[in-house]
A and B are shown apart, each in its own frame.
Chain A
Amino acid sequence: MRLRVIAPGLAPTVQDRGRLGYEHLGVMINGALDTRAAAWANRIAGNSDGAAVLELTLLAPALEVVGDGDEGARPAALAGADLSCTLNGVAWSPGEQRLLRAGDRIAGAAARHGVRAYLAVSGGIDVPTVLGSRATDLLAGIGGLAGRALRAGDVLALGPPPSRPRLGEYARFDPPQTLLEREVVRVLPGHRAGGVQSAGLRRLVDTWYRVDPRSDRVGLRLRGPRVEAEVTGREISEGMAIGAVEITSSGEPLLLLRGRGSIGGYPTVAVVISADLPALAQRKPGDRLRLRLVDEREALEAWRAQRTVTLRSPRWAVARAVRPAGERVECGEPLAELEVMGERRPLLAPIAGRMLRASVEEGGEVRADAPVCAILADE
């Protein structure tokens, strides 16, 4: 099965978790800007979190599913922004799984909420890996499909569907809280702010800005009151963190996203916390945005909460052999055994990560939809 682009919409790209480990050579990370939504789409489609997806921006493409013979249907899912997508003319909302068959047509209309939607298909988008990743780097022209955004006529191959162990069942898990309409984003003080009490930082936070239309995958530019950086004229360029809030020489705040270049020379006055980076990717030009200062403890708690996935039992059963906290689990591995009417069936992990806690004791009862355990998902 393959996907053919009929009309590209607004520059869709193939993305995954990004090209990690080559920043010291000037190779940028990229990857899905809303990492959470991309992971969510993959989980619903039955992929591991790192499978390649399509990142759709504001205007969804029109796609046709092309069959390759007698192959059956493939699960697919959308997550993130609501771009009014349809499958064969029937509404397809974010968070929903659909089965794709040869001849199916995917289309979109106006963006209802958010900016970036992710389309995951079982098996993932199969483009060649470049330095360990399928992510498109538009600036360097590498990764994805020929290092560029998709065009009409492009055909995307799909990887082999993940093989699922038989006689097991997958734990249910809660959908993530939506981040599409978050207007307040939390920041930590930046290392070039000149201190927490600096005039520049105080001017930046708790002020309403609007997202400038010149924003892109590199970063969000904010329109509003200008900020004077306390540390001006810092000319020695340094590595820029994802989420860094730089103040340009004209006093304009620039928030760096995952498509950023690795080095920059503007002072970093604040840094968006890891947990709020996905929300940034969903702010569109004209949207309001305000930065709120928090401490590192709150930042880490929010990050932990966001990465924690609570797994629930598909039915009322007796839990056995629940994996202990701290153990590493891979996607598809048993987390516990559920005993119903004398039959034991393994409960399988839908994601990879580390066991955070067991919510039920050995031999304890667990009702349908009650938590069995929680996993800290891999980043």
Chain B
Amino acid sequence: MRSLPWSNTLPVGDAAVLIEFGQVLDVAANARVLLATRMAQRLLADGALPGVWGTIPSYNTLLIEFDPLATTRDAVLAALRSALMQGGDETIAGRRFRVPVWYAGEDLPEVAARTGLTVDEVITLHAAVDFRIFTVGFAPGQPICGMLPDALRLPRRGSPRVAVPPRSVALGGHQVTIYPTASPGGFHLLGRTPVVPFNLERIPPVLWAPGDVLRFYPIGREQYEHLAAAFATGEEMLAPEPPGSALLA
């Protein structure tokens, strides 16, 4: 018999349980989170997780929210465990999106100064890495990605901005993100993308999923404005690269 499909489970209040998949932030732990989330979604769709009303995957944890008068923590964990034991070898094939960025963010000069790089070097480094989407959260469709090369790591801003420009591409700590809307934000702003991460008119409304990979590339202002107009009307939509083209697992 195989061991448990997770490393630890922690009760969170009377209506949730947090499942931990390892103590550190790495791709393998995150892959197990995403598989467990997929299993949970499948069980929910089949009506096999009665009483469960929410699942929140993050880097190395999965929070499951339920009505404690309709089910129990043990019943939820047992159902998920048996699904993972049966189908736990399934792999999630990540897609790769190439995301255009107009690198003219407010914090770009400061990021360059504080990392001891030139602005061009910051852009080159940022656009040279495949970033894995560890989770989608904070705001609808917002990808939370890693890992940022050490040379670009900076602590978050001392005080968060009340509202960042929509579709800002930003970095903070070891993370990279795109703010879909004008939300509060504590990350350093590198630029903006014309790509729309969340659009209710679209099915599915969220462009990408955890496990997918983002690769940024620089564009100029004119191209940014042209693409922004096309993406905004839904006339154009960012498609993932065809499978097989240098896909990162």
Binding site for B on A (CB under 8 A): 20-29, 130-131, 139-142, 188, 190-191, 235-244, 261-263, 268, 271-274, 296, 299-300, 303-304, 307, 376, 379
Q: Which residue of A lies closest to B18 (CB)?
A: A191
A88 shortest CB reach to chain B, Å? 39
Is there a chain A Cβ closer than 8 Å to B230's Cβ?
A: no
Bound Cα distance A188, B137 (Å): 26
Bound-state CA distance A20–B10 (Å) is 22
Q: Which residues of B contact A239 (CB under 8 A)?
A: 18, 56-58, 61-63
- Flag the segment in B123-131, B138-146, B231-239 that touches A: B138-146
In the bound complex, do residue A263 and residue B13 qualify as a contact, i.e. CB atoms below 8 Å apart?
no
Tell whether, in the assembled complex, residue B69 and residue A26 are in contact, meaning their CB atoms are under 8 Å apart: no
Query: Could you pull out 12 A-B pairs where Cβ atoms are within 8 angstroms?
Result: A23-B56, A24-B55, A24-B56, A24-B57, A26-B141, A131-B205, A188-B14, A238-B18, A240-B56, A240-B63, A243-B15, A296-B14
Q: Separation in Å of the A295 CB from the closest CB of chain B?
A: 10
Tally A-B pairs: CB < 8 A.
Answer: 135
Whether, in the assembled complex, B168 has its beta carbon less than 8 Å from a beta carbon of chain A, the answer is no
In this complex, which of A24, A236, A273 has the most chain B Cβ atoms within 10 angstroms of its Cβ? A24
Count of B residues near A, CB < 8 Å? 45
Q: Which residue of B lies closest to A235 (CB)?
A: B173
Q: B13 near A303 (CB under 8 angstroms)?
A: no
Take A241-B63, A263-B135 as given contacts and tell me if A300 and B14 are in contact as well, using a CB distance cutoff of 8 Å: yes
| Distance of A240 Cα from B10 Cα, bound (Å) | 13
B193 CB within 8 Å of chain A: no
User: Within 8 Å CB of A25, what residues of B?
Assistant: 136, 140-141, 204-206
Assess whether B15 is in contact with A236, with CB atoms less than 8 Å apart. Answer: no
State whether B56 touches A20 (Cβ < 8 A). Answer: no
- Residues of chain B with a CB closer than 8 A to A241's CB: 12-13, 15-16, 63, 65
B61 contacts across to A, CB distance below 8 A: 236, 238-239
Q: Which residue on B lies nearest to A143, using beta carbons? A: B200
CB distance from A246 to the nearest CB of B (A): 12
* Extra 12 A-B pairs, beta carbons < 8 Å, given A26-B136, A263-B135, A263-B138: A21-B44, A21-B53, A22-B140, A141-B181, A236-B59, A237-B58, A238-B18, A238-B56, A239-B63, A263-B56, A271-B16, A274-B15
